[in-house]
Amino acid sequence: MKTVLVTGGSGFIGRYVTSELLEHGYAVRVMDALVEQVHGDAPEKQEGVSDVIYADVRDKAAVLRAIDGIDGIIHLAAEVGVGQSMYEIARYVGANDLGTAVLLEAMLGKDIKKIVVASSMSVYGEGLYADNAGRRFDTIRRKPAEMKSKQWEPLSPDGDWLTPLATDEQKPVELASIYALTKYVQERQVLLYGDAYGVDAVALRLFNVFGAGQALSNPYTGVLANFASRLMNGQSPTIFEDGQQKRDFVHVKDVARAFRLALEKPRAAGHVFNIGSGNAYTIAQVAGLLADAMGLPHLQPEILNKARSGDIRHCFADITKARELLGFEPQHRLENSLGPFVDWVTSQVAPDRGPQMQKELLERGLVS
């Protein structure tokens, strides 16, 4: 495989994927719509990338130009963010699901050997849990009444306390937001297409990706970027619920390598993979680590004790399958990788748009 199209290739993850491919001898073409919420009004040039098509993936004529002469595709183009997806529904469904449909339809009859799509851990909804007897619960969902009464931890159907477990790919999906729905539709479209047309197709369910280059101006995605924007403006990070919800944070360089491995490994075809660090961190712990790394330990997180519609309590990755079939091994732990992230953050202008995000969610009744 020689030439790869990266849709969304000018975005945060896309830039790292593009660099990873170039470093390993691939020719790369980038397609990106340069959405202002993510890129601002003056996107940076990408070093080493000269073959760029600036267009929306829903523009079939542009997509046909983009896939001409391409051997493989990494499909990253998507709107990202749980909260915003709950009220900008047409925007998310259009960009993510219709966009993927247009791309796949354009591929018909082309000699494209492989496609790898970016999915999301959000498709799981709540992660895996077990009760004190060791019984596994994989379809847990919190009830609105429990959330309103500040009962943050999910309970078993019998009302018993549960312990969160690392989530593997065998867990059924449990879609808790419009964003999650669109990501699941994206991955299913790609895998169904691959099966029908004999194209190697792979879906990577990304957990919380972090690293230098995140969109500090976009309050709907990137927990660390949102926290950094607050801290840079002398404000405490704000956290929904009680801050004890657990997530898996995976470095963007590890994610980029996972995409390359998925492109290269024949055994990956037809599979869905978790791409995370394999470690669990509470959101309050992450806020504290970042404040310390930025030399602002006095700016401890503000715990809102409010629930946001579409949020889940705990979800962190079991990456056994990616290790076994892709040879994927994370190299950058969160606690050892905040230095370069902070160096980059402190060189940026970081507008704090967190209050705007909270206001928009409150006005629509999506916070309780």
> In the structure encoding, which two tokens stand for residue 242, read together?
């009680």
Per cent of the chain over pLDDT 90 is: 70
Whether the predicted pLDDT of 190 surpasses 60 = yes
Are the CB atoms for 230 and 237 separated by under 8 Å? yes
**pTM to 2 decimal places:** 0.91
**What confidence tens digit (pLDDT) does each residue in 65-103 have?**
999 999 999 999 999 888 788 889 999 999 999 999 999
Helix (H) or strand (E) holding 247: strand 246-247
**R_g of the chain, CA atoms, integer Å:** 20
Would you state the pLDDT for residue 228? 86
DSSP for 166-180 reads: PBPTTSPP---SHHH
**What confidence tens digit (pLDDT) does each residue in 255-267 have?**
999 999 999 999 9
Would you state the pLDDT for residue 209? 94
Contacts of residue 23, defined as CB under 8 A and 6 or more positions apart, other chains included, come to none
Q: Which three-class secondary structure state does DSSP give residue 287?
A: helix
Would you state the pLDDT for residue 218? 58
Beta bridge partners of 74: 6, 116
Beta bridge partners of 130: 136, 163
Are the CB atoms for 278 and 165 separated by under 8 Å? no
Whether the predicted pLDDT of 219 surpasses 60 = no
CATH fold for domain 3-362: Rossmann fold (3.40.50)
Are the CB atoms for 184 and 173 separated by under 8 Å? yes
How far is the CA of 70 from the CAs of 5, 18, 312, 343, in angstroms?
6, 14, 39, 37
Minimum mean pLDDT among 197-206, 315-324, 334-343, 344-353: which range? 344-353
For 66, how many CA atoms within 13 A lie in the half-sphere containing its CB? 32
